[in-house]
Amino acid sequence: MLKEKARVFAEKAHKGQFRKIGNQEMIAHPIAVAKILEAAGLPEEVVVAGYLHDTVEDTNVSINDIKNEFGVEVARLVEGNTENKELTWEERKQHTIDWVAKAPFEVRALIIADKLDNLQSMIKGYEELGEELWSYFKRGYEQQKWYFSSVCHNVFKDLENDKIPAYFFEYKRLVDSFFQK
């Protein structure tokens, strides 16, 4: 099964990596993203890309490795969610904000599943750490608010309401409530 292969591949790629907050292994994030996508009934390639979405950005895995192991479509989806680490934080985030407004639906679905899980982790971190949470990020509250809110605003562009998965609206609800200051 391709999904299981992707999960094992991601586990190996992220071995020894941990999330910014707490002591949670990094692989928990791609697993959560894949679960969001699968629960929304998205195609297998999108779920597979959910497992693999951070491998190119955060490990030694290349897009060609993804293409060779999982095919062109999965590689296209992963590439659509991969930031160029040679750019500044602001440039990378602005690219994502602009891209999510025009990206193919499956790429948007992956981006929002990724952002939703990240936001849920931030909320949990804030409940545990309070304002200290922001010290774990390259940019603080205001910049995170700008980024998450801008992605939220742009992701809905040119999408038909009845075709938008429920987790997009959950993301919007959490952005609006968490960044209301």
Active site residues: 57-58
| Alpha carbon distance 17, 172 (integer Å) | 29
Q: What share of the chain is helix, strand, coil (3-state, %, to 5)?
A: 70, 0, 30
Find the length of the chain. 181
Which pair of structure tokens corresponds to residue 171? Answer: 């993301």
Which pair of structure tokens corresponds to residue 155? Answer: 């992701």
| Alpha carbon distance 142, 134 (integer Å) | 10
| Contact criterion met (CB below 8 Å) for 174 and 120 | yes
